């Protein structure tokens, strides 16, 4: 992807036609007036209500307060993310004959951008130009960020080229926004090219630009390129910050290179860059990934000694790691510790514990946690329901599983494919093969993304009942639908065929399994 950047022009022109096709047509501008005039502010708490009342009372003051006072209130509402309220008050201000200056108009552009209303954002740019104001770097950067936030990165690049061609000088924030937008859509190479152009003289590159690209390279599994870019950054006298160290530590942990990740922490400390909660959470997760439970505990206990306070994510990582290590009681102790620290567990915390308790057969404790979730207004999600439904099916409580499934649906929580797989497997295990087949066929007809696990469950259910012909028919349908059997599917089929003394067919499947690389000789 090429990024042609026109040379700066010395003469400035603020004609609206220069920004075509970004500026809307007159009818679009009129729709802005109509649409937002008809929408009243929607304050959602008393503080906002007071601010809105104060703002409106200012219309009737004599003399009218300076425009700066109006701008301060609108800026405050925007920082509180009350974008629609800000826009509505801006419109009321204009209707009362109080003309906005560039700062307020830029605030309104920002609000429209966050609401995904880019045509209205450019309507405000048209207003800026019509009133003779010169858009500044904040205004233009906000528009580019809005385009990127709304998935229009290529339009942001075109807009960049147009404003630069008109002689506007953009800054590090502007280019950081474009680089971030490119990385978000997977155009990491284009982001690197843009960085090179920036370093050619457009503005000064900074650690944020490099961090964004380095993170993207690691996510693209291009670790070598990421390290090369890191070296280049340091050669430009830009030192890594905590964010870049966290990116590297995370990448190393995910590769299982926990020793190297710990060394990176050492380098970080020697460079006088203080680790933050993300650093320690990442390391704990890494240690659990390689089953070094004691080391994870050490990190958890040690971070408080250097003034870093564990958060809910820290506890979730520890509780999840301990549950996977089959030390559920320790996980429950940490859960109780959260309560003592007045820390509110979230849905992830509860779901992790519920899953572990279900798997260890402690169903009574599970329902206590469910009650606590309700008391704390923590909502069960599809993963929580899957844990519960799976536990019921494993214990052959199929009717209760379907009751819970019905409750989940009534609450508007859509089942995942994993939910359906649990239920089909439960029906097969619980002697309801015909119902399982009916459900499976219904999902197939409705176009659900049945996966290899779905087919394997159904084939296993048929084989267990000795219905090999039906299992073979389903096998053919599976492959016709582009879903390839895995090693487990082959093993189920081969075992069933040998059990029925159909050795020739079993050996044919065995050879096919070897041919596909699912079994080595």
C-beta of residue 70 within 8 angstroms of C-beta of residue 98? yes
Distance of CA 248 to the CA centre of its chain: 20
Going by pLDDT thresholds of 50, 70 and 90, the confidence category of residue 1 is very low
d(CA 448, CA 452) in angstroms, rounded, equals 13
C-beta of residue 101 within 8 angstroms of C-beta of residue 93? no
Q: SS3 of 381, please?
A: coil
d(CA 512, CA 490) in angstroms, rounded, equals 9
b/e code 88-106 from CB counts within 10 Å (16+ = b): bbbbbbbeeebebebbbbb
Listed residue (110, 129, 128) closest to 118, CA to CA: 110
Res 26 pLDDT > 50: no
Give residue 118's pLDDT: 92
Give residue 519's pLDDT: 76
Give residue 5's pLDDT: 34
Give residue 52's pLDDT: 86
d(CA 83, CA 121) in angstroms, rounded, equals 12
Structure tokens at 264: 């990176």
C-beta of residue 108 within 8 angstroms of C-beta of residue 124? yes
Q: Which helix (H) or strand (E) holds 130?
A: helix 118-130
Top mean pLDDT of 127-136, 328-337, 441-450, 508-517 is at 328-337
Res 27 pLDDT > 70: no
C-beta of residue 486 within 8 angstroms of C-beta of residue 468? no
Going by pLDDT thresholds of 50, 70 and 90, the confidence category of residue 305 is confident
Radius of gyration of the chain from Cα atoms? 30
Structure tokens at 237: 């006298």
Res 127 pLDDT > 60: yes
Listed residue (119, 114, 123) closest to 85, CA to CA: 114
Mean pLDDT of 454-477: 94
In tens, the pLDDT along 346-394 reads 999 999 999 999 988 888 889 899 999 998 888 899 999 999 999 999 8
More confident residue, 13 or 471: 471
Give residue 22's pLDDT: 58
Half-sphere exposure of 269 (CA within 13 A, CB side): 8
In the chain, the percentage of residues whose pLDDT exceeds 90 is: 65
Mean pLDDT of 106-131: 92
Res 399 pLDDT > 90: yes
Res 29 pLDDT > 50: no
Res 39 pLDDT > 50: no
In tens, the pLDDT along 226-263 reads 999 999 999 989 999 999 999 999 999 998 999 999 99
Q: Which helix (H) or strand (E) holds 415?
A: none
C-beta of residue 185 within 8 angstroms of C-beta of residue 153? yes
CA distances from 312 to 50, 116, 335, 342, 516 (A): 33, 31, 10, 11, 45
d(CA 345, CA 339) in angstroms, rounded, equals 8
Mean pLDDT of 141-156: 92
Give residue 412's pLDDT: 93
d(CA 272, CA 400) in angstroms, rounded, equals 57
Enumerate the domain spans of the chain. 51-134
Listed residue (274, 278, 249) closest to 262, CA to CA: 249
Listed residue (61, 26, 59, 56) closest to 43, CA to CA: 56
Res 17 pLDDT > 60: no
End-to-end CA distance of the chain: 47
CA distances from 330 to 31, 95, 322 (A): 60, 63, 7
Per the rule left: phi > 0, alpha: psi between -120 and 50, beta: everything else, 466 is left
More confident residue, 47 or 299: 299
Listed residue (512, 435, 521) closest to 475, CA to CA: 512
d(CA 110, CA 123) in angstroms, rounded, equals 12
C-beta of residue 51 within 8 angstroms of C-beta of residue 77? yes
Give residue 23's pLDDT: 52
**Average pLDDT over all residues of the chain:** 87
Give residue 203's pLDDT: 83
């Amino acid at each position: 992807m090429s990024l042609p950047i026109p040379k700066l022009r010395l003469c400035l022109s603020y004609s609206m036609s220069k920004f075509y096709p970004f500026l809307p047509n007159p009818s679009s501008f009129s729709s802005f007036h109509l649409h937002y005039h008809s929408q009243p502010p929607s304050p959602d708490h008393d503080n906002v209500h007071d601010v809105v009342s104060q703002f409106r009372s200012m219309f009737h003051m004599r003399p009218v307060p300076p425009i700066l006072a109006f701008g301060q209130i609108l800026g405050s509402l925007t920082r509180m993310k009350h974008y629609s309220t800000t826009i509505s008050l801006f419109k009321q201000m204009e209707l009362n004959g109080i003309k906005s200056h560039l700062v307020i108009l830029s605030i309104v552009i920002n609000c429209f951008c966050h609401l995904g209303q880019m045509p209205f954002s450019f309507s405000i740019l048209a207003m800026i130009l019509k009133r003779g104001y010169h858009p500044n770097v904040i205004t233009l950067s906000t528009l580019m960020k809005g385009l990127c936030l709304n998935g229009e990165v290529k339009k942001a690049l075109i807009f960049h080229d147009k404003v630069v061609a008109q002689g506007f000088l953009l800054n590090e924030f502007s280019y950081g926004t474009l680089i971030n937008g490119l990385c978000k859509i997977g155009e990491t190479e284009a982001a690197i090219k843009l960085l090179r152009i920036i370093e050619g003289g457009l503005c000064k590159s900074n650690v944020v630009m490099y961090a964004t690209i380095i993170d993207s390279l690691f996510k693209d599994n291009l670790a070598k390129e990421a390290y090369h870019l890191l070296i280049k950054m340091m050669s430009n006298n830009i030192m890594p910050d905590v964010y870049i160290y966290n990116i590297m530590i995370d990448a190393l942990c995910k590769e299982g290179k926990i020793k190297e990740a710990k060394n990176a922490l050492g380098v970080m400390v020697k460079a006088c860059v203080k680790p933050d909660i993300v650093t320690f959470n990442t390391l704990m997760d890494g240690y659990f990934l390689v089953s070094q439970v004691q080391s994870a505990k050490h990190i958890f206990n040690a971070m408080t000694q250097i003034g870093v306070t564990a958060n809910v994510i820290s506890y979730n990582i520890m509780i999840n790691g301990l549950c996977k290590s089959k030390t559920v009681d320790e996980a429950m102790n940490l859960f109780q510790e959260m309560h003592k620290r007045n820390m509110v567990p979230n849905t992830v915390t509860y779901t992790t514990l519920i899953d572990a308790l279900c798997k260890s057969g402690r169903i009574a404790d599970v329902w206590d946690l469910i009650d606590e979730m309700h008391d704390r207004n923590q909502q069960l999600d599809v993963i929580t329901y899957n844990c519960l439904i799976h536990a019921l099916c494993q214990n052959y409580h199929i009717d209760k599983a379907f009751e819970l499934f019905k409750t989940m649906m009534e609450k508007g929580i859509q089942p995942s494919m994993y939910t359906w797989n649990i239920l089909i497997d439960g029906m097969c295990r619980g002697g309801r093969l015909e119902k399982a087949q009916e459900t499976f066929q219904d999902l197939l007809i409705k176009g659900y993304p049945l996966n290899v696990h779905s087919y394997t469950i159904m084939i296993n259910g048929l084989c267990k009942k000795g219905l090999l012909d039906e299992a073979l028919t389903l096998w053919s349908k599976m492959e016709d639908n582009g879903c390839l059997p895995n090693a487990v599917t082959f093993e189920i089929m081969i075992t069933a065929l040998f059990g029925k003394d159909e050795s020739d067919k079993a050996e044919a499947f065995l050879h096919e399994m070897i041919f596909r690389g699912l079994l080595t000789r």
